[in-house]
Amino acid sequence: MRMLISLFLSLLLPSLTFSKPDSPVFNVLDYGTVGGLFNDSTSAFILAWSAACTSSSPSSMMYVPSGHKFLLHPLIFSGPCLSPDITIVINGTILAPVIPSKWRCIADLCDKWISIKDVDGLTVRGSGRISGLAPGWWDVVVKSFNITIGAALKCPSTDGIHVSDSRDVSIDHCRITTGEDCISIVDGSSNLKISNIICGPGPGGISVGKHGSAGNIENILVSDVVFIDTRKGTQIKTMEKGGKGHVKNIIFERILLQDCRYPISIDQFYCDKEHCTGNNSAVQISGVTFREILGTSRGEFAVQLVCRKSLPCTGILFEDINIYSDLKNMAKSLTANAKGVIRGQNIPETRFNNPRH
């Protein structure tokens, strides 16, 4: 099982340019590591953090340079820090050891890989990657919680949390404001639980997207989410061409919307380029539930379910949907080749294309 959760935190910082030139910079390379897949960089990271945390400067920076891969065993970046404004810049790649039995864990506790605690005024940013590649460890527990992620709203392709080829993942109690999806879930992901998320303002969205044939997406629960002034809300999209397999058993429930342009969306014609061929998608979407979703939409269509005639979306459940437009006109619903059931409130009125008996 290969696990990859990439946290694209801002993608704004060039590898050699710092926003605070007068801040002391503590480069992990200066603390005894040369990087590489066979060199343990844990001690160097702890020493660099300690130097940045105990700096008496008004601001300090721990720097992970680009062009290097750093192998880290479980560690804790702990405070409180003397510097009231501390930044971790990650431009390189941070990797977990592949063999779980060889992990050196603090007090034999291996349920956390990188932990930050008791730190105020912390910023984490950069163009690097945090990648977990230890199969046995990820099979036991993979969790992200109590995280705040931010990026400039005009910065493209900055997903807050990107989940790919992963299973048994829990993301809980996070506040995300980025230039693209708050959370994106793509090929090969299953058994995900996402809860207690505040998304926005910004493009936003919690998006399930099947882009190719690398793996199916199934058994995803998204609950207790607040979207604040976002362009997207709950979304499922499949590529217009090249996709295979299925997206099934997806639940969005207890969702609160404040001025969301596209609150509920299924799109089997998704295209990330200017010119698309119009070829039929081969991805089946089935077993999708939208339950207890309420709030306001600032777009014309609060509900858009656009599926293919050759491969309709099936088994869709709408239960207690109550979305009003903040425009003068009532919010509208648009459906094509979507088959399902309505229960409870149905605002805006949505009708499925069920066959007549």
Pull the structure tokens for residue 184: 């994106």
Q: How confident is the model at residue 357 (pLDDT cuts 50, 70, 90)?
A: very low
- At 296, the amino acid letter reads T
Could you read off the pLDDT of 12-33 as tens digits, one per residue?
233 333 334 456 999 999 999 9
Residue 331: pLDDT band (50, 70, 90) is: confident
- 354/238 Cα distance (integer angstroms): 22
- Provide the 10 A C-beta neighbour count for residue 153: 15
Quote the tokens at residue 282.
Answer: 């081969």
Provide the token pair at 56: 């008496």
**Percent of the residues in the chain that have a pLDDT greater than 90, as a whole number:** 48
- Compute the residue count for the chain: 357
Q: Comparing C-alpha atoms, which of 340, 258, 336, 333 is closest to residue 303?
A: 333
Q: How far apart are the first and last CA of the chain?
A: 45
Q: For 75-126, what is each residue's pLDDT tens digit?
A: 889 999 998 899 999 999 998 876 666 777 766 666 678 888 888 888 888 8
- Asked whether the predicted pLDDT for residue 253 surpasses 80, the reply is yes
Least trusted range by pLDDT, from 94-98, 106-110, 134-138, 348-352: 134-138
Q: What pLDDT does 7 receive?
A: 31
The amino acid at residue 339 is K
Cα–Cα distance for residue pair 222/233, rounded to 1 Å: 11
pLDDT of residue 259: 92
Which of these ranges, 54-63, 151-160, 252-261, 332-341, has the smallest mean pLDDT?
151-160
pTM: 0.66
- Site of tokens 């990859």: 4
More confident residue, 20 or 55: 55
DSSP alpha helices (H): ranges in the chain?
42-53, 135-140
pLDDT band at 3 (very low <50, low <70, confident <90, very high): very low
Cβ atoms < 10 Å from Cβ of 125: 20
261-272 tens-digit pLDDT = 999 999 988 876
Q: Which pLDDT belongs to residue 325?
A: 86
pLDDT for the residue numbered 19: 38
Average pLDDT over residues 56-85: 92
Looking at per-residue confidence, does 242 or 200 come out higher? 200
Helix or strand holding residue 302 (H, E): strand 301-306
CATH code 2.160.20.10 region(s) in the chain? 141-357
Nearest-angstrom CA–CA distance, 342 and 334: 15
Provide the 3-class DSSP secondary structure of residue 213. Answer: coil
Give the CATH fold of the 141-357 domain.
Pectate Lyase C-like (2.160.20)
